[in-house]
Homo-oligomer: A and B are copies of this chain.
């Protein structure tokens, strides 16, 4: 298995990316290879400084960089020798089986739709991420930012995509599915959420348990799969970050709050496209990058894209 890592993307690139890549090596087996995609001079010099054999990686040189603030579609189209464009090209021609980057999120999304494409039958791809639960589970929540407004049938499909993720990546049999809403009753919420509830409760592929309120999140009552539109999911995810930040600033010590750290998750897969792609937080440092690589590996191992293709 070969996993591509964009070395040039992220606020702390390339140094933190290479450090995270080195840290991830200890978890990779002999037949797993990490492909560092980026400026080879920077890569060799950093590895030398870290006294790491460069032969432990495959290295693919690229000469251009898509900056964090660049216009995604324009940058992706024009910078053919950027790490993101080259990564997607390699993914498309099978040179790598997974690709991850903490770089320009927009360009990563544009790259997905320009090269590997959406799986036929998938209405809207989603960004799926993990939320920690106090009972030590992790749940998958989607969407967390790609589609701020969702039609009911998109929410229904997120339930299906999320269930596949929970089954094959998190190893859960019959994962429970909840729909974020503002009350327990099925008459609550927006028209879209009410209609989604009706569809979800009758769908044979879903272990649907009903509405999930904000106070169920992170607790034993949290389902394995959490469905919401990308606006609500984004706010939930980032509010969790706010609490983790406050927790750290108050010098508290607790294993649950430690798990809230996004660095432990590493990245959010784009679910519903024809390839295994994981997007990291722009502010990712060494530890987050390592976990992004390992999460990409888990997604490739589960063969998530293929599993979705078979199910949809």
- The residues of A with any CB-CB pair to B shorter than 8 Å are 134, 145, 148-149, 180, 182, 188-191, 193, 213-219, 230-232, 234-243, 245-246, 249-250, 252, 254, 256-257
Contact = CB atoms under 8 A, between A and B. Distances in A.
Contact of A256 (B234, B246, B254): B246
A297 B70 CA distance: 52
B238 A189 contact: no
14 contacts: A148-B182, A182-B235, A190-B231, A193-B231, A214-B234, A214-B235, A214-B236, A215-B238, A217-B239, A218-B242, A219-B245, A231-B232, A239-B239, A250-B254
A190 B246 contact: no
Contact of A190 (B148, B180, B215, B240): B148
A235 B235 CA distance: 9
A200 to B, nearest CB: 17
A270 to B, nearest CB: 16
B215 A242 contact: yes
A238 to B, nearest CB: 3
A190 B193 CA distance: 16
Contacts of A249: 134
A34 B193 CA distance: 41
Nearest to A250: B254
A238 B213 contact: yes
A243 B243 CA distance: 8
A219 B234 contact: no
A149 B218 CA distance: 25
B246 A149 contact: no
Given A239-B239, A252-B252, 14 more contacts: A134-B250, A182-B235, A214-B234, A214-B236, A214-B239, A215-B242, A218-B243, A219-B242, A232-B232, A235-B235, A239-B240, A243-B243, A250-B256, A250-B257
The residue in A134, A234, A241, A257 that gathers the most chain B C-beta atoms within 10 A of its C-beta is A234
Contacts of A213: 234-235, 238
The residue in A134, A213, A219, A239 that gathers the most chain B C-beta atoms within 10 A of its C-beta is A239
A241 B214 contact: yes
Contact of A218 (B191, B231, B246): B246
A176 B214 CA distance: 26
The residue in A215, A216, A240 that gathers the most chain B C-beta atoms within 10 A of its C-beta is A215
A191 B229 CA distance: 14
Contacts of A215: 238-239, 241-242, 245
A221 to B, nearest CB: 9
Contact of A236 (B145, B189, B239): B239
A148 B189 contact: yes
Contacts of A245: 215, 219
Contacts of A190: 148-149, 231
